[in-house]
Amino acid sequence: AQTVTQSQPEMSVQEAETVTLSCTYDTSESDYYLFWYKQPPSRQMILVIRQEAYKQQNATENRFSVNFQKAAKSFSLKISDSQLGDAAMYFCAYRSAFSGNTPLVFGKGTRLSVIA
């Protein structure tokens, strides 16, 4: 079974600074997807960024980018120019591409605080 590990329960960053959230995963599959989700106090899950395993190029979405190291099974999220609205719980997630019935497997999450 696949597992996702987030080793940082809590992180903090100064406003306008850069922070990196760590994520590692374990799988024997070669084809899969990786995601970072943001969960603010409203509890709504918001997709931040996704990465297809077959793509070597790291995904970027405005201030958010990932460092995807397939061989190391590492998928870190970098948030640049941090804003107060970035404060939330961040979950790293894995999804197999084997079939459409596969769910997301989540890490335990990292709570990010942004200091004004």
Partner 1 sequence: GAVVSQHPSRVICKSGTSVKIECRSLDFQATTMFWYRQFPKKSLMLMATSNEGSKATYEQGVEKDKFLINHASLTLSTLTVTSAHPEDSSFYICSARAASGEGTGELFFGEGSRLTVL
Binding residues (CB under 8 A) for partner 1: these are 32-33, 35, 42-45, 47, 50, 52, 91, 95, 97, 100-101, 103-109, 111
**Shortest Å distance, C-beta 37 to partner 1:** 8
Between 6 and 82, whose beta carbon lies closer to partner 1? 6
Look at the alpha carbons of 57, 107, 49, 103 in this order and tell me if their dihedral is positive or negative: positive
Nearer residue to partner 1 within complex by CB, 13 or 38: 38
Nearer to partner 1, 75 or 107 (CB): 107
Shortest distance (Å) from residue 60 CB to partner 1: 16
Provide the minimum distance between the beta carbon of 103 and partner 1 in the complex, in angstroms, as a whole number: 5
